Amino acid sequence: MAARTTEARQSLSENVRLYTHPACLQHDPGEGHPESPARLRAVLEALDDPRFAHIERVEAPRATREQLLRVHQPAYIESIYANAPQSGSVRLDPDTVMSPASLEAAERAAGAVCAAVDAVMAKQTKRAFCAVRPPGHHATPDAAMGFCIFNGIAVGAAHALAVHGLGRVAILDPDVHHGNGTQDIFWREPRVLYLSSHQMPLYPGTGARSEHGVGNVVNAPLPPQAGSREFRAAWDDTLFPALEDFRPQLLLVSAGFDAHRRDPLAQLQVETEDYAWITRRLCDLADEHAQGRVVSVLEGGYDLGALRESVAAHVAALL
């Protein structure tokens, strides 16, 4: 029995890899800001659970300029590097702040996704979770937005296209806020399918059902107070069928947990178990179409208890 248990634990460790870096804890938008270092501390505490003891931990590398340039305008990247503060802080938009540690944190957050994509493509692991911050899905080709500096999941998707030659990459985004930056970046890229459930109306004001890109964008907005039934129906009836039709070779997840009923920044009523449910479903689809390949990246989630519970449910389902 002991031998079988050891083998099972080794199998689990090979199934999921965790990417993170201490620099992501040092990014400090300021006192009272909802996107605080405490968020990542809560996530890492959740992953200290004995259930996850055998997950391989990997230090997230910095994204290269070449990787960033695949999705961001050169002038924007140069402005971020030029304005990165040595002390104090710089406000990039009303919600997005850079402290002295923010540039490295943003580089590592985007670099983690590229490294995770490389690992699943090389069959070093079946799935990966990037426990990083700042988040990324609001960052557009030429602007920081909504706590986001570099769009890490977009950088990872573009890396999969350019380096690994994939022709069908799917991005699933259940964050309560629509990933306008990701949608914008891939608006005319048929090799990338963008699927989103989100509250509407809510920041950033995008994500209507009528927004289709070149047929590669599917949005399923939900009204305030919508709960588990409506959330699951959006994925079962609209988003997962589109994913099935696309037959992705790689699944990337903008893992936002702020649709949770306890989150202070929105009004959806999603439960912790819903995150386990959606993760199991997307893993089944990945096993069917993408050789099991899933890379998940932390986005939103601002109630620390709900975030801790939801991340644990998500990663347990990835296992």
Cite the active site residues.
138
Q: What radius of gyration do the chain's Cα atoms show?
A: 18
What is the per-residue burial (b if ≥16 Cβ within 10 Å, else e) of 88-104?
eeeebeebbbbbbbbbb
Q: What whole-number distance in Å separates Cα of residue 153 and Cα of residue 110? A: 7
140 to 51, 73, 152: CA distances (angstroms)? 37, 9, 11
**Dihedral sign, Cα of residue 272, residue 110, residue 118, residue 56:** negative
Which residues lie across from 98 on neighbouring strands? Answer: 90
Strand, helix or coil for residue 141? coil
Pairing verdict, β 294-298 and 169-173: unpaired
Q: Phi/psi at 156 (nearest 5 deg)?
A: -65, -40
**Would you give the end-to-end CA distance of the chain in angstroms?**
21
CB of 9 closer than 8 Å to CB of 120: no
- What is the total residue count of the chain? 319
Q: What whole-number distance in Å separates Cα of residue 79 and Cα of residue 150? A: 12
Would you list the DSSP string of 211-243?
A: --TTTTEEEEEE-TT-BHHHHHHHIIIIIHHHH
Strand, helix or coil for residue 61? coil
